[in-house]
Chains A and B, each alone.
Chain A
């Protein structure tokens, strides 16, 4: 293959659910559930200029953009390179957005649909909003795999590196949770560099658990510590 999997490294991993957000390569867990917590989309270090149209986003889009911001934070980047691409997955595509849009249309008497709901009825829409926010100009696609397994989509991200982008964000997000990985090209000959996490190690860790964000994060944290999970 032109871009070998071992030439691509995982530079940052971010995740969130309805209660907690965190990063893996620079381990951090922050609780934001409850009245006192500050949700990650209101964290100034994640979104220094705010997020345009945040209130318009559906939940899947909000989860996608925050997971990607956390992956960048984990990689110690405030902004990705422009030619970074984005590939995403989940279990059910845009099913919830489809239901919301068409139910609203029926309730309105089947005469007038809402464009602002219609634009989220594509599985790629949360990715597109994320690309617009971060200025990601590389390849963008939704890759659906059975069960929305994130490990399989990591390989798609590696494959798309062959199309020339400087990096790829790989994200699995739905209405309740999200996890994102920033892939980049492996540094060569930098002895002082922090130990890099290979895509193989990441995939091997994920393969040990079937489903669920908590399980994925747990094995990734173990893999980062080098304990083998």
Chain B
């Protein structure tokens, strides 16, 4: 059973909509600015990729402010029986921050199941939803789970919603781990020093081919393969040899039935940390042994949007296939010697071919790989 994406939308630091995100990423410039939601004086970086117009002292959490405009047009018109999968790492943790800072909010307001209920209610869905959380591979894992539910016939419509916000909670944590690049994330750059935190929200509606046909849906693309794995190696660092990611990639490509020559590009996790980017290249070189396949990361543009990263990258990868344009790796000054021939600071036209491999990894050594095609 083919799994098709039939509707999608997102908001990133480039603003609302797939067009805004795509055009922003194509500039090759970072959408980074000095964070002013809280003091960054004590942290190793002051930069973030923030969604314009979010307020910190309203009744709504940051993620619900991002999600409401995206989900409102879906309310009441989702297919009967749609299953909701919510991908996030910290959800409405800004509500917990505010409570611990003295605001009179409920003790459990930031629970993820409460956020799931709010989204379910906003969409008017009756079937019980699920939260999928696997660190920074959350949304690609949710897409994999949704695709599996459709492929096996358990569901024929799955809405994957992803969100995470830039908060003092996560900013202080990544700073403590010395994971922030003071100059802004530079994935695959020789002088990269870490990531830049971003925020985003988005959704994709997945459908079985049969249902998409019966509803005469326009098809955006296909989730042709997926693979999940765990390094089982370290809580905050990946396996240095990329072996865990390699297992997920091999599984995804094998499931898709595509050959390596069908792939025109790789949308990498590409966080800008020393070990992640190196590990990914090692894995890719073990799969694509006939020569370099263009690799890009959008995290030098929209930042690391954590649990939303995989979905944002999937949406823009579909756009890349439609336009037959490979986006640049933004904010890249000097290509790391390990990445020469694989990564470019310029957009490349006309070579996108049939499929994109999209990968994500996260804390605890989780890995997810998706094969996306037209």
Q: Which residues of A contact B (CB under 8 A)?
A: 1-3, 82, 85-86, 91-93, 95, 98-99, 101-103, 105-106, 110-115, 118-119, 121-125, 127-129, 131-132, 134-147, 152, 156, 159-160, 162-164
- Across the interface, do B363 and A131 meet the contact criterion of CB distance under 8 Å? no
In the complex, what's the smallest C-beta–C-beta distance from B170 to chain A, in angstroms?
8
Say if the beta carbon of B236 comes within 8 Å of chain A: yes
Chain B residue with the shortest CB-CB distance to A1: B152
Contacts of A138 in B (CB 8 A): 228-230
User: Which of B39, B96, B112, B228 is A139 in contact with, Cβ under 8 Å?
Assistant: B228
- Across the interface, do A106 and B101 meet the contact criterion of CB distance under 8 Å? yes
- Across the interface, do B230 and A102 meet the contact criterion of CB distance under 8 Å? no
- Across the interface, do A146 and B128 meet the contact criterion of CB distance under 8 Å? yes
In the complex, what's the smallest C-beta–C-beta distance from A94 to chain B, in angstroms?
8
With known contacts A98-B96, A115-B173, A142-B132, A93–B232 Cβ distance under 8 A: no
- Across the interface, do B131 and A144 meet the contact criterion of CB distance under 8 Å? yes
Bound together, the chains give a CA A210 to CA B230 distance in angstroms of 32
Contacts of A95 in B (CB 8 A): 96, 108, 110-111
In the complex, what's the smallest C-beta–C-beta distance from A124 to chain B, in angstroms?
5
Contacts of A160 in B (CB 8 A): 148, 228
Contacts of B134 in A (CB 8 A): 124, 140-142
- Across the interface, do B133 and A146 meet the contact criterion of CB distance under 8 Å? no
User: Which of B90, B174, B230 is A86 in contact with, Cβ under 8 Å?
Assistant: B230
Contacts of A86 in B (CB 8 A): 230
Chain B residue with the shortest CB-CB distance to A56: B235
- Across the interface, do A114 and B176 meet the contact criterion of CB distance under 8 Å? yes
- Across the interface, do B363 and A163 meet the contact criterion of CB distance under 8 Å? no
In the complex, what's the smallest C-beta–C-beta distance from B354 to chain A, in angstroms?
23
Contacts of A141 in B (CB 8 A): 132-134, 141, 145, 228, 366
- Enumerate B67-97 residues with CB–CB distance to A below 8 Å: 89-91, 93, 96-97
Contacts of B89 in A (CB 8 A): 122-123
- Across the interface, do B232 and A145 meet the contact criterion of CB distance under 8 Å? no
With known contacts A123-B112, A144-B131, A159-B148, A113–B366 Cβ distance under 8 A: no
Say if the beta carbon of B177 comes within 8 Å of chain A: yes
Contacts of A1 in B (CB 8 A): 152-154
In the complex, what's the smallest C-beta–C-beta distance from A170 to chain B, in angstroms?
14
Contacts of B303 in A (CB 8 A): none
- Across the interface, do A93 and B148 meet the contact criterion of CB distance under 8 Å? no
In the complex, what's the smallest C-beta–C-beta distance from A1 to chain B, in angstroms?
4
- Across the interface, do B233 and A132 meet the contact criterion of CB distance under 8 Å? yes
Contacts of A146 in B (CB 8 A): 113, 116-117, 128
- Across the interface, do A122 and B133 meet the contact criterion of CB distance under 8 Å? yes
Encoded as 1 (CB less than 8 Å from any A CB) or 0, chain B from 137 to 165 comes to 00001001100110111100000000000
Say if the beta carbon of B202 comes within 8 Å of chain A: no
Could you jot down 22 A-B contacts, CB within 8 Å?
A86-B230, A93-B131, A95-B110, A99-B100, A102-B96, A102-B97, A112-B176, A115-B176, A118-B174, A119-B235, A121-B90, A124-B366, A125-B235, A128-B230, A132-B232, A132-B233, A135-B232, A137-B244, A138-B229, A142-B132, A159-B145, A160-B148
| New contact pairs (16) apart from A1-B152, A2-B152, A139-B229, CB-CB < 8 Å | A85-B230, A95-B111, A102-B100, A110-B39, A113-B176, A115-B236, A137-B229, A141-B134, A141-B228, A143-B130, A145-B130, A146-B116, A146-B117, A146-B128, A152-B130, A159-B145
Instruction: Report the 10 A-B pairs with minimum CB-CB distance, sorted nearest first.
Output: A128-B364, A144-B131, A118-B173, A139-B228, A111-B42, A113-B172, A1-B152, A113-B176, A142-B133, A141-B134
Contacts of A93 in B (CB 8 A): 91, 111-113, 131, 133
Say if the beta carbon of B251 comes within 8 Å of chain A: yes
User: Which of B169, B177, B366 is A128 in contact with, Cβ under 8 Å?
Assistant: B366
- Across the interface, do B133 and A123 meet the contact criterion of CB distance under 8 Å? yes
Chain B residue with the shortest CB-CB distance to A141: B134
- Across the interface, do A113 and B131 meet the contact criterion of CB distance under 8 Å? no
Bound together, the chains give a CA A170 to CA B153 distance in angstroms of 22
Bound together, the chains give a CA A115 to CA B174 distance in angstroms of 8
Contacts of A163 in B (CB 8 A): 144, 148, 226-228, 251
Bound together, the chains give a CA A105 to CA B176 distance in angstroms of 11
Chain A residue with the shortest CB-CB distance to B41: A111
Contacts of A106 in B (CB 8 A): 100-101
- Across the interface, do A136 and B173 meet the contact criterion of CB distance under 8 Å? no
User: Which of B100, B172, B226, B366 is A140 in contact with, Cβ under 8 Å?
Assistant: B366
Encoded as 1 (CB less than 8 Å from any A CB) or 0, chain B from 167 to 184 comes to 001001111110000000
Bound together, the chains give a CA A118 to CA B1 distance in angstroms of 41
Bound together, the chains give a CA A75 to CA B335 distance in angstroms of 51
Bound together, the chains give a CA A121 to CA B100 distance in angstroms of 16
User: Which of A85, A102, A131 is B364 in contact with, Cβ under 8 Å?
Assistant: A131
With known contacts A159-B154, A163-B148, A163-B251, A98–B169 Cβ distance under 8 A: yes
Contacts of A119 in B (CB 8 A): 177, 235-236, 363
Contacts of B362 in A (CB 8 A): 124
Q: Which one of A93, A105, A127 has the greatest number of beta carbons of chain B within 10 Å?
A: A93
- Across the interface, do A105 and B172 meet the contact criterion of CB distance under 8 Å? yes
Chain A residue with the shortest CB-CB distance to B226: A163
With known contacts A98-B93, A141-B228, A112–B251 Cβ distance under 8 A: no
- Across the interface, do A121 and B173 meet the contact criterion of CB distance under 8 Å? yes
